Every structure is written in structure tokens, then in C-alpha cells.
Amino acid sequence: MIRTLPAWLLATLIALTGAAGVLAVAGGTTVPLGGTDLPLAYVLPPLVGLALFQLVFGTFSGRWRGLQYWLIALPLSAVIWGGALMLMLDGRLTVDQALAAAVAGHLAAGLAALTAGSRP
């Protein structure tokens, strides 16, 4: 068993809950960026989720992530959230299916990172 698995599970649960809550609140709000309006639903959930994950996981496991964590995790999380959101807005997924797909994608990515980091 991976030693940090309980801390990872707790951090993941809190992070995904926080990110889903921010997604519900941000909704259709946009921010002007360059010549386009950037929906906050694309930007805020990955930031909030990763910040909550880092805070909880670091506190309980004593393993704090550095710059490499943010450089890899933030774009990956944005792609997962954005992909689920785009499929939902396109009508291919319901809201529940999109959230389930985002959760499954984050769980798979997190477990892959956790097991890769625990190899001797």
C-alpha cells in the first residue's frame, strides 16, 4: 500500500468538492482576455482544486510540491475540466456525467502521479 494514500484520498475529495463548488458559482461569468472573453469556469476550478489539494495533502503527508507540480498539474487539470465542460456544453454529456468524467480523470491522473512518485 502506498504510505501517503489516505492523505491523498482526503485531499482529492476536498479538492474536487471545492473545484465543483467553484464551477457551480463561476457558471457563465467571463473575464476579458485579449480579444476574447475567457469563462471563469475554465480557469478557477483547476486553480482552486489544486490549491486545496496541495494544502491538505502537504499538511497531512508532509510532502509539499514545488514548481514542477504546478507546471504539470495545472495544465492537465485545466484540460480535464475543460474537456468535461466542453462535452457538457456540446450536449454530449449531462451535468452528472461531466462531473463524473472530471472526477475519474483527476483520480486517474492523481493515482498515476502518486504511484510514479513512490517507486524506488
pLDDT of residue 105 exceeding 70, the answer is yes
Point out which residues pair with 33 in neighbouring strands. Answer: 36
Under the banding of pLDDT at 50, 70 and 90, the label for residue 1 is: very low
Give the count of alpha carbons within 13 A of 88, CB side only: 19
Nearest to 74 by CA among 94, 92, 53: 53
* pLDDT band of 117, cuts 50, 70, 90: low
For residues 2-7, give the mean pLDDT.
82
Average pLDDT in the 37-58 region?
A: 86
